[in-house]
Structure 1
């Protein structure tokens, strides 16, 4: 945090904006809290309103933390769906079998199963939305494919 504060102050003064800045938005980690505190201490006389409102926490980061906590509660279910999506999208022949069963059940195959990136909750959301559209396909495939053993419930 000392190095971050030093570099922040150096950059602000180099650009001559330390007296024009009202806030700094950072994510919620303790080193950023400390960095902002040090910047406020060193520049308090030059900051707008003596830096009272300098530290703004990033709303997107807060939202991300909330969603990750929520997803953690259902992680077991997500893993089962992830395993199913991985199994059926592993090869063109499996994908074809998946789409055939979907068509037999009169389910439109406009969306492809897509495996998520575990660190990006928006991709997990997309994977879950798509899998939900095919929820009736998975049990039918379980009856036809002995190697398929991770049926979502």
Structure 2
């Protein structure tokens, strides 16, 4: 059904003999769609007879790389997530956290925000904000005995090291997801930046 709809669009726009690539996520369903489209059209219509027709989505590739990296620090992230959840669980706790931050002279107006576990960029934003208030978590532990999910210093350090590298992935993913400009000309330089950044710290 999906293939039929795509083919109708190709014929209506008269681009069925002008196709070069089709960008899709890397999953078995999309693999089947590409195979069916290649079977519907003459192989001579495609560059290199269709061997390069299925292009994997750059944002999806980055997502898989990041998810693999985040699994290494899963326990550290879970502990920080618990702390963020604790201090944003109610308006009263949020207010107490804000007041304590003002007392400590922290000028940031960013609010703690819990992430969506299946959305790594929200995890990055959660960590980035949590690091601003890192010292506050330690100080509030002394004033709030019920707060028992404080991450250890080692977990903070591990999460910070990985998060510092997540920024380049976050920026690249936002660029790849753009809708008002061409993205095909920016993926290679960005992947090179990621590769170089990884080499600098022995990640790749």
Provide the TM-score with structure 2 as the length reference.
0.67
Contact 1:22 1:48 (C-alpha < 8 Å) held by counterparts: yes
Q: Unmatched 5+ residue regions in structure 1?
A: none
Further displaced range: 13-22 or 51-60: 13-22
Q: Unmatched 5+ residue regions in structure 2?
A: 153-204
Contact 1:85 1:113 (C-alpha < 8 Å) held by counterparts: yes
Contact 1:142 1:151 (C-alpha < 8 Å) held by counterparts: yes
Give the C-alpha shift of residue 60 in structure 1.
0.6
Query: CA RMSD, aligned part only?
Result: 1.8
TM-superposition CA deviations, 1:49-95 (whole Å, max 9, x none): 33232111111110011111111211111111111111111222211
Aligned to 2:119: 120
Further displaced range: 118-127 or 94-103: 94-103
Bigger-Rg structure (1/2): 1
Further displaced range: 96-105 or 86-95: 96-105
TM-superposition CA deviations, 1:105-152 (whole Å, max 9, x none): 322242111111222211111110110011111111111112211102
**What SS does structure 1 have at the residue aligned with 2:55?**
strand
Distance in 2 (CA, whole Å) between partners of 1:85 and 1:45 is 55
The size of the alignment, in residue pairs, is 151
Aligned to 1:47: 45
Distance in 2 (CA, whole Å) between partners of 1:82 and 1:89 is 11
Which residues of 2 match residues 10-25 of structure 1 at below 5 A?
10-25=8-23
**What SS does structure 1 have at the residue aligned with 2:134?**
coil
Contact 1:44 1:51 (C-alpha < 8 Å) held by counterparts: no
Contact 1:113 1:130 (C-alpha < 8 Å) held by counterparts: yes
Give the C-alpha shift of residue 14 in structure 1.
4.0
Further displaced range: 108-117 or 122-131: 108-117
Which residues of 2 match residues 65-144 of structure 1 at below 5 A?
65-144=64-143
Aligned to 2:31: 33
Provide the TM-score with structure 1 as the length reference.
0.87
Give the C-alpha shift of residue 6 in structure 1.
4.0
Contact 1:103 1:109 (C-alpha < 8 Å) held by counterparts: no
